[in-house]
């Protein structure tokens, strides 16, 4: 089935490989009729995406993806302790939301700067100052290891073949060694914040997590992400049944897989056929118009 809207993507404003404008063009070329950027805990790429979508005749909606340590999953063997919540249509200028987005950018950027300084001390990063990294990524507030990597590549201080050791030795598990400047909000707090800011909250790629739907519904979750590479066929079918049963939105997207993530090699485990990750026109219209017609 060819899907209409790709509602879970990442740009260079978080950990994606394409600028927002490039991402819009890739989505258009792939055959989507609508695309949304859901960068991690930041919304700075939306204006560029919206402007490019308008030129291309693509539909778009406003969004972001939030990481939420879970009160439901903690301590459960075999399950990740984090829900990912995609918020759509919320007001980023709503003061508590604006404050949280600023804190999340500081959290990520401070950790990256600390690891940059560690790499300098170890002699593994040379020939570049932190201010140059900021200048290379002008307009981006949430800076991760990818932003430093691209700055190093642009200055000729790294080669593509260095990517493996760069991420393993300089970042990887070392990011967890850096105390965060600000904590993530838990899932119930994120859902409430999105709602208070006027938006809707959809749980992203709930692989292995559908059994917690009753608790998530009590917290106010508005929808489920169904067509995502992490979801099994059985989970997709179950998710659609549950969404229809409880009147939930049905979303989907490519995330870090497929053409919108720059994956062109059919032999890659992250490859996906054209327009197979996303959601249908019917379900997109429900999200866009904030009205379920089932």
- Splitting the chain (294 residues) into consecutive groups of 10 residues, what average pLDDT does each group show? 97 97 98 98 98 98 94 53 94 98 98 97 96 97 97 96 93 91 95 98 96 96 97 98 98 98 96 98 98 92
Give 34's contacts (C-beta < 8 A, 6+ positions apart): 4, 5, 6, 7, 58, 59, 60, 61, 284, 288
Q: Distance between CA atoms of 260 and 273, rounded to whole angstroms?
A: 11
The pLDDT value given to residue 70: 84
Give the per-residue pLDDT at 226.
97
Residues 195 and 225: beta-carbon distance below 8 Å: no
Q: Which pLDDT does position 76 carry in this prediction?
A: 42
By CB atoms closer than 10 A (0-12, 13-18, 19+), residue 205 is buried
65 in Cβ contact with 45 (< 8 Å): no
pLDDT in the model for residue 78 = 38
Of all residues in the chain, what percent are helix, strand and coil, respectively (each to 5)?
45, 15, 45
Residue 35: strand pairing partners: 6
Q: What pLDDT sits at residue 270?
A: 97
| pLDDT for residue 82 | 87
């Amino acid at each position: 089935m060819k899907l209409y809207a790709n509602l879970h993507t990442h740009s260079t404003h978080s950990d994606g490989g394409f600028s927002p404008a490039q991402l819009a063009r890739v989505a258009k070329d792939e055959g989507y009729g609508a695309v949304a950027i859901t960068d991690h805990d930041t919304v700075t790429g939306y204006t560029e995406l919206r402007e490019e979508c308008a030129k291309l005749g693509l539909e778009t909606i406003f969004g972001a993806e939030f990481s939420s340590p879970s009160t439901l999953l903690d301590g459960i063997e075999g399950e990740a302790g984090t829900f990912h919540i995609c918020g759509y249509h919320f007001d980023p200028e709503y003061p508590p939301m604006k404050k949280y987005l600023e804190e999340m950018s500081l959290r990520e950027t401070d950790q990256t700067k600390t690891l940059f300084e560690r790499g300098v001390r170890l002699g593994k990063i040379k020939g570049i100052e932190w201010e140059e990294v900021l200048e290379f990524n002008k307009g981006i507030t949430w800076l991760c290891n990818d932003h430093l990597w691209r700055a190093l590549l642009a200055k000729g201080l790294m080669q593509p073949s260095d990517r493996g050791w760069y991420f393993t030795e300089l970042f990887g598990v070392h990011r967890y060694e850096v105390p965060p400047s600000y904590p993530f909000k838990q899932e119930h707090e994120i859902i409430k914040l999105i709602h208070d800011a006027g938006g809707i909250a959809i749980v992203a790629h709930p692989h292995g997590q559908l059994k917690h739907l009753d608790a998530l519904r009590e917290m106010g979750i508005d929808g489920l992400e169904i067509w995502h590479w992490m979801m099994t066929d059985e989970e997709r079918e179950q998710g659609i049944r549950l969404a229809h049963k409880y009147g939930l939105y049905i979303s989907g997207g490519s995330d870090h897989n497929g053409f919108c993530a720059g994956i062109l090699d059919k032999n890659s485990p992250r490859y996906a056929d054209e327009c197979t990750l996303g959601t249908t026109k019917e379900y997109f219209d429900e999200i866009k118009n904030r009205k379920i017609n089932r």
